[in-house]
Structure 1
Amino acid sequence: MAEDPHMTLQTMLILRVLLSDPARRRYGLELCERTGQHSGTVYPILARLERTFGWLERHKESPAEHLAEGRRARYYYVLTEEGAVRARAALDRAERSRAILNLRTATP
């Protein structure tokens, strides 16, 4: 597994939503709505967090869940225990770095 993902603003937004309730499973379009990002941004980030970094687990819902609602099956994403720990640490580092940069640019 790679160290940590590049912490773009888009990645940070997704991780914040996931970390707001780490045990809750969320589907991609829900993350799009919660972060205000397009699916073409969200799904590649989810794929990297799952496949490259191992921070997420992806599960397809059972037919009983989606057929009862008359829709296609969803894939749900949930942080792994290690993924939640590493995501919090990566967000903390990124936010500290941003704060330092803001201080440097704000100083005359």
Structure 2
Amino acid sequence: MTDATVDVLGVLLSGDDDLYGLKIAQTIGRPTGSVAPILRRLEGCNWVTSTWEQSNERTGPRRRFYQLSAEHAADARALVAERRPAPTTPKHTPLRPGWVSGR
């Protein structure tokens, strides 16, 4: 599993219902040319489902919306947590009363 795939899964886990290829690519800062094949592979493995945009109100090409499948959401969460652990909070030394920076 590549870092780019983990990035895509992280976005899909965000809960945003309006995720299409360009939006996912912009969110993770990767080119659409690398995100599109990842989405196709995930869809081929049934980790992701997609639907075409139905609205005609927007100009431009139709968008394809992606959603993480419910049956693989737990696997994706575990994988992202394993590969992208939450940053630890730095331990701060409490300030002593009366201490002023620069003195």
Q: Could you state the TM-score of these two structures normalised by the residue count of structure 2?
A: 0.74
1:86 and 2:75 correspond = yes
Q: Report the Cα distance in structure 1 between the residues aligned to 2:18 and 2:75, rounded to whole angstroms.
A: 18
Residue from 50, 59, 75 that aligns with 1:58: 50
Distance 1:95 1:71, change over 3 A: closer
Local SS of the residue matching 1:92: helix
Rg (Cα) greater in structure: 2
1:77 and 2:69 correspond = no
Residue from 14, 26, 29 that aligns with 1:33: 26
Residue in 1 aligned with 2:57?
68
Q: Describe how 1:91-106 pairs up with structure 2 within 5 A.
A: 91-95=80-84
The 10-residue stretch of structure 1 (42-51 or 68-77) with the greater mean CA deviation from structure 2: 68-77
Local SS of the residue matching 1:26: coil
Give the gaps of 5 or more residues in structure 1.
1-5, 97-108
% identical aligned pairs: 34
Residue in 1 aligned with 2:10?
16
Q: Could you state the TM-score of these two structures normalised by the residue count of structure 1?
A: 0.71
Aligned residues: 85
| Residues 44-75 of structure 1, C-alpha deviations (whole Å, 9 max, x = no match) | 10011110x2111010111xx1x211221111
Distance 1:12 1:25, change over 3 A: same
Distance 1:95 1:69, change over 3 A: closer
Distance apart, 1:95 and its partner CA = 4.0
Distance 1:74 1:84, change over 3 A: same
